[in-house]
Amino acid sequence: MRIILGVSGGIAAYKAVLALRLLTEAGHQVRVIPTEAALAFVGRPTWEALSHQPVTTSVFDGADTVDHVRLGREADLVIVAPATADLLARAATGRADDLLTATLLTVHCPVLIAPAMHTEMWHHPATRDNVATLRRHGAHVLDPDSGRLTGADTGPGRLPEPADIVAAALALVHRDETPGAADPQAVAPSAPLAGCTVAISAGGTREPLDPVRFLGNRSSGRQGLALARLAADRGATVHLAAANVEAALLADLPPQVRIEQVETTAELQAAMTTAAANAHAVIMAAAVADFRPASTVEAKIKTHDAEGNRRQTPAIELVANPDILAALVTSRPPGQVVVGFAAETGADSAEVLEHGRAKARRKGADLLAVNRVGAGAGFGDVPNEVVILDSDGGEIGRAGGTKTEVAAGILDAIAARLGSAAHS
Ligand code: CTP
């Protein structure tokens, strides 16, 4: 295969040397196109010696053979590793100010981009937008690994291991050769949720007791975020109400996801009621606190009084929170699909499912995704399996594995409902 290995100017350029070795040892013909900045990290002789090919950075070097067009046309695969924030920005906006970016504008083959940079740069909205643009244009952009960066800092931004980059890139070529296969990152022309608006809640609500304490739960929000990301990938506009979700997780979402951050159940209800008003589908993935303290005190609850005497242990009086899902079901406009989640415990799968069926009938949501939690969790052989029930408690499907696979099963069920509503 003829492969172009683009290298931009980051410290991780040394790892591209290992990727080059893996590719040439596997018998591929590799043309390395570094940026000028990349040569500050790994010099031209290294690339030339290992690729047995000339190495140039500028379109003017091979002007007689119009290299950027020829190389682009002839390539079977392009890998850009590492891709710096600057390279992503130039590629996303169609700049052609060096041989690498000019070549990226002429290729017809699969393109794999492996970004590497400091965490702050990766999380910056400009970089997020550029990554989303490149994905929309059909490039396969890997998420960077998390771990130790150039200095003492750690976080997302590390270049994935060369073997993983090479494997992911070769899989793209294989995928393109498989009829009917699709890149899950690319927005397919037939995106099943194109034109739809989906309101999703994620995370867990917190109910304040005093300025420093709250009643809350352990929900990370990852399942709701997987739903938001995949719904956006499938063409939907997503309104996400994020209850106490870690900022780093939110920063990784594509720009089609509009985020509203909330803390309490009352705030979540307000956000979801507004978002649901114009949504085709509503998904309540958040873990909602069923109760809140009857009152919140403005000063910190102290263990000792002003004289230094220990106070009596306070009792916390609780009042019930509204059931957001039930209210959304009651007020839903015609054709809207409302989805709830139920995490249930039980001695066995049958008991868990019984709890789920009872909840499905009680809540009245069009779909309820039931999962088994606690010791020996899971319904079958698949870890993290959910059973999707209809409002009568009837099983309409199962989805399991990763959070993205669970999200895929739920979004499939929603798309089927929306499709059949449109045709009825
Ligand atoms: N939910 C909600 N508002 C609440 C409680 C739950 O909208 N006050 C939603 C959750 O987001 C989830 C579904 O209802 O989609 C089921 O949540 P769960 O906590 O399992 O249900 P509860 O009604 O709290 O039932 P129970 O505690 O009896 O299991």
Mean pLDDT, rounded, for 318-336:
96
Number of domains in the chain: 2
Q: Are residues 161 and 217 in the same domain?
A: no
At 178 the pLDDT is: 53
Q: Are residues 262 and 157 in the same domain?
A: no
In a domain, 172, yes or no: yes
Q: Are residues 202 and 173 in the same domain?
A: no
- Ligand 1 site-directed mutation target among 215, 268, 284, 329, most atoms within 8 Å of CB: 284
- Residue 286 beta carbon below 6 angstroms from any ligand 1 atom: yes
**Which residue in this structure is represented by tokens 């917190």?**
206
Nearest to 355 by CA among 148, 419, 347, 72: 347
Q: Are residues 234 and 370 in the same domain?
A: yes
Kindly report, residue by residue over 286-309, the tens digit of the pLDDT.
999 999 999 988 899 989 999 999
In a domain, 297, yes or no: yes
In a domain, 78, yes or no: yes
In a domain, 404, yes or no: yes
Q: Which atom of ligand 1 is nearest to the CA of 286?
A: 11
Instruction: List CB contacts of 347: < 8 A, sequence separation 6 or more.
Output: none
Q: Are residues 128 and 209 in the same domain?
A: no
Given a cut of 50, whether residue 262 has pLDDT beyond it is: yes
Q: Are residues 24 and 92 in the same domain?
A: yes
Of 153, 177, 201, which marks where a domain is finished?
Answer: 177
Q: Which amino acid is at 317?
A: E
In a domain, 182, yes or no: no
- Residue 341 beta carbon below 6 angstroms from any ligand 1 atom: yes
At 376 the pLDDT is: 63
- Residue 214 beta carbon below 6 angstroms from any ligand 1 atom: no
Q: Are residues 402 and 293 in the same domain?
A: yes
Annotated active-site residue 217? The verdict is yes
Q: Which atom of ligand 1 is nearest to the CA of 343?
A: 20
- Residue 149 beta carbon below 6 angstroms from any ligand 1 atom: no
Q: Are residues 23 and 121 in the same domain?
A: yes
At 191 the pLDDT is: 65
CATH of the domain at 301: 3.40.50.10300
More confident position, 375 or 329: 329
- Residue 288 beta carbon below 6 angstroms from any ligand 1 atom: yes
The 3-class SS string of the chain reads CEEEEEECCCCCHHHHHHHHHHHHHCCCEEEEEECCHHHHCCCHHHHHHHHCCCCCCCCCCCHHHCHHHHHHHHCCEEEEEEECHHHHHHHHCCCCCCHHHHHHCCCCCCEEEEECCCHHHHHCHHHHHHHHHHHHCCCEECCCEEEECCCCCEEEEECCCHHHHHHHHHHHHHHHHCCCCCCCCCCCCCCCCCCCEEEEEEEECCEECCCCCEECCCCCCHHHHHHHHHHHHCCCEEEEEEECCCHHHHHCCCCCEEEEEECCHHHHHHHHHHHHHCCCEEEECCECCCEEECCCCCCCCCCECCCCCECCCCCCCEEECCCHHHHHHHCCCCCCEEEEEEEECCCCHHHHHHHHHHHHHHHCCCEEEEEECCCCCCCCCCCCCEEEEECCCCEEEEECCCHHHHHHHHHHHHHHHHHHHHHC
Q: Are residues 311 and 337 in the same domain?
A: yes
The fraction of the chain above a pLDDT of 90, given in percent, is 68
**Which residue in this structure is represented by tokens 């739809």?**
196
In a domain, 185, yes or no: no
Of 118, 142, 177, which marks where a domain is finished?
Answer: 177
In a domain, 184, yes or no: no
Instruction: Supply the residue whose CA is at minimum distance from atom 27 of ligand 1.
Output: 290
Question: Domain containing 69: what range?
Answer: 2-177
Q: Are residues 169 and 207 in the same domain?
A: no
CA dist., res. 262 & res. 275, Å (int): 13
- Residue 290 beta carbon below 6 angstroms from any ligand 1 atom: yes
Of 144, 177, 210, which marks where a domain is finished?
Answer: 177
CA dist., res. 157 & res. 160, Å (int): 9
Strand-pairing partners, residue 157, are none
In a domain, 187, yes or no: no
| 104 Cα–ligand 1 center, Å | 49
Lowest mean pLDDT among 11-15, 81-85, 132-136, 152-156: 152-156
CATH of the domain at 34: 3.40.50.1950
At 256 the pLDDT is: 81
> Per-residue confidence at 186, pLDDT binned at 50, 70, 90?
very low
Q: Which of 130, 217, 278, 384 is catalytic?
A: 217
Q: Which atom of ligand 1 is nearest to the CA of 326?
A: 7
Given a cut of 50, whether residue 341 has pLDDT beyond it is: yes
Q: Are residues 295 and 227 in the same domain?
A: yes
Kindly report, residue by residue over 230-243, the tens digit of the pLDDT.
999 888 999 999 99
Given a cut of 70, whether residue 188 has pLDDT beyond it is: no
Q: Which atom of ligand 1 is nearest to the CA of 355?
A: 29
At 28 the pLDDT is: 95
Q: Are residues 173 and 221 in the same domain?
A: no
Instruction: Supply the residue whose CA is at minimum distance from atom 8 of ligand 1.
Output: 323
